[in-house]
Amino acid sequence: GAVVSQHPSWVICKSGTSVKIECRSLDFQATTMFWYRQFPKQSLMLMATSNEGSKATYEQGVEKDKFLINHASLTLSTLTVTSAHPEDSSFYICSALDRPSEPQHFGDGTRLSIL
């Protein structure tokens, strides 16, 4: 089946630093990738939709300059949390899609802890 790899799985860093999270589709080409944020014991909140070769579409309330998304190839999307602060600590999950209206394939998620 379709596999999505997310890296790193856990990162701890100091406040003010930038953190990059990678999302790769390993055995299929992902026309679209999604980035979600999940707070403890809550549902997934869609942050942005990323299409290869074009700018990401951000959901309302998500800061574009804070969460930079790059989808440079059909198998890789990156999320960079810039100048991270403790309130950015969360679980970030990516998913990938090869065709519209098909099920999304999810990565394992990245736990981000900002000290």
Partner 1 sequence: AQRVTQPEKLLSVFKGAPVELKCNYSYSGSPELFWYVQYSRQRLQLLLRHISRESIKGFTADLNKGETSFHLKKPFAQEEDSAMYYCALSASGFNKFYFGSGTKLNVKP
Which member of 109, 110, 112, 114 binds partner 1 (CB under 8 A)? 109
Q: Which is nearer to partner 1, 85 or 99 (CB)?
A: 99
Q: Which is nearer to partner 1, 18 or 42 (CB)?
A: 42
Tokens 């969360």: give the residue.
90
Residue 51 Cβ vs partner 1, minimum distance, rounded to whole Å: 8
- AA identity, residue 43: S
Q: Which stretch binds partner 1 (CB under 8 A): 20-28, 61-69, 82-90, 99-107?
A: 99-107
Strands 76-81 and 90-97: unpaired
Residue selected from 11, 93, 112, 114 as contacting partner 1 according to rule CB under 8 A:
93
Token representation of residue 19: 């953190």
Which lies closer to partner 1 via its Cβ, residue 17 or residue 26? Answer: 26
Q: How far is CA 81 from CA 28, 101, 102, in A?
A: 26, 28, 28
Q: Does 101 bind partner 1 (CB under 8 A)?
A: yes
